[in-house]
Amino acid sequence: IHFSGLTMGTTYSIKATPLEKNMDTQILKKGIDSVLFTLNKQMSTWDPSSEISLFNRTHSVESYAISESFRRVLKAALDVSEKTDGLFDITVFDLMKLWGFGPEPNSGIPNQKQVETVLSYTGYDKISVTEKTIIKNHPETKLDLNAIAKGYAVDEVFHFLQSKGFTDLFVEIGGEVQCAGRNQLNKYWSIGIENPSGGNKSNQNFAAIVYSDGGAVATSGNYRNFIELDGEILGHTINPKTGYPIRTNVLSVTVLSNSCMVADAWATALMVMDYETGLKKVTENPDIKAVWILDKKDGSRRVARSVGAKIDDSIYEIIR
């Protein structure tokens, strides 16, 4: 069975081995779409009537009631924020807007004063989450869940299919993946890590392949959307603590975990760090493993990985 479509401003693809011949897949498709529609109405900043958009527009610093799914994602995000000392941050809506990203992008390069103004109400300490509510600690703070919500949606669709009895399945939304069992050829699911454009071996689509019989894989890259700053071409990853695009030789990070929500958030967080710092963080965290694609000064690339991250067919030198 193969379903595909649009959700959360991107595409999704779902594959599963049918439980019986001549299954009525339309009922299954409606169930999947219902899960995705609900999550989109809660966490999409592109939908002006969504739960997150309504929260962003309020200037109240009183308790604000939220859905359980929204709260669960917020709690997970704040956990990663604490573990990364704020390098993962979901209060970056206006910071991304300032640099020309998101549903309401500014044009041009912001000046230092503009950046400092937005930073004054940015930071994971600017929100508090209770059992059923969220509180803004600054009236201007706005949320952006794009770095974690897709992963959560993958997990929710995956668990929905598991609840229906499926054991061999593959769920992908915008490149974030959760899978179990085997594919239709009775082989491990194969997930390609995209080869960033430019550099050597640019004719290769994939830098490496992850073969998985279960678990989640999420990748964050810094080679598609660009900003020109002082004559230098920089990727779109913004450091939430400095308010400026990062300067790094890390082209992409792929994170492996049991939870796609966790993998999604950590892939973004690790893109803000240099490789050595990121490797240390991953080594300290038993819930994740990671694969980095690094840009060397001579234009070539290399693939680095943490202990336990299994990849095959790397077209670059593998650094263990």
pLDDT in tens, 105-156: 777 788 999 999 999 999 999 999 999 999 999 999 999 999 999 999 999 9
- The half-sphere exposure of 262 on its side-chain side, counting CA atoms within 13 A, is 15
Task: Give the per-residue pLDDT at 21.
Answer: 81
Angle at 256 between CA 252 and CA 259, to 5 degrees: 120
Q: What is the pTM of this model?
A: 0.92
Sheet holding 301-305, edge to edge: 2-7, 10-16, 169-173, 176-180, 214-221, 250-257, 288-295, 301-305, 317-319
Task: Give the per-residue pLDDT at 203.
Answer: 63
Q: Return the SS3 of 156.
A: helix
Task: Give the per-residue pLDDT at 281.
Answer: 97
Task: Give the per-residue pLDDT at 262.
Answer: 98
Q: Which residues pair with 6 in a beta bridge?
A: 11
Q: List average pLDDT for each run of 10 residues in the chain, which is 320 residues long.
A: 91 91 87 96 94 96 96 97 96 92 79 96 96 95 96 98 95 96 91 76 76 91 61 71 88 95 97 95 96 84 89 66
The token pair that represents 242 in the structure block? 């400095």
